[in-house]
Amino acid sequence: MTEDTLKTGTTTIGLKLKDGVILATDQRATMGNLIADNHTQKLFPIADNLGMTIAGGVGDAQLLVRYLQSEISIYRMKKGAPMSVQTAAVMIGNILRQGFYVAPLVGGYDATGGHIFSVDMAGGVLEDNYTSSGSGSVFALGALEAKYKPGMTKDEGIDCAITALNSSRRRDNYSGDGFLIAYVGPNGYEDIPNEEIVSRCAKLGFKYPN
């Protein structure tokens, strides 16, 4: 991959809650040392009960999202049931072994509850209660270590994700600009409105980055 390839740089976050999961990202894309875009979509629904964050090459990530949405839709039509979070994560891992420059987080809600998986570029799949990927992950993980607790509510999870994103965007040159946050629970995938994120930042004492 060349230095001028469009990359997401990135901080992505996944949290397991009492009844669902939170997925969150920043919105900065870089090309070498250039900030190429500050409204990059790094958080996607891939099924009614599944979401995915992206870190890595933008082109590979966009292709991966379109492919997954199609394959998971076909799976549901064939099986008559939604794909489990673990099955989706394993499928993504198998795809990444073909050479995609992407390190996604996969989260969702199924018959066994909420689950968060990280998938590395070699196809390795790991489940955890909370995780982060991308260039800003080291800063986000420090905040998550201090803030995360098992069994958090949706509101607590959103605030925890905002705190971790704020930590990374302040310290990592390749993370920043806006925040994207989604909740996936018993009723499916739900984007958190930008106005709510801005309001929560203010209440937590953080300046929203845009």
Check whether domain 12-204 has CATH 3.60.20.10, yes or no: yes
Q: Which residue has the higher pLDDT, 180 or 100?
A: 180
pLDDT at 6: 46
Catalytic, 2? Answer: no
Active-site residue, from 2, 5, 8, 10: 10
Q: What is the DSSP string of 112-158?
A: TEEEEEEE-TT--EEE-SEEEESTTHHHHHHHHHHH--TT--HHHHH
CA angle at residue 105 from 102 to 111, to 5 degrees? 140
Mean pLDDT taken over the chain: 91
Distance of alpha carbon 105 from alpha carbon 193, whole angstroms: 21
Q: Where are the domains of the chain?
A: 12-204
Tell me the per-residue pLDDT of 18-74, one tens digit each, with 9 for 90 and over.
999 999 999 988 877 778 788 889 999 999 999 999 988 888 888 999 999 999 999
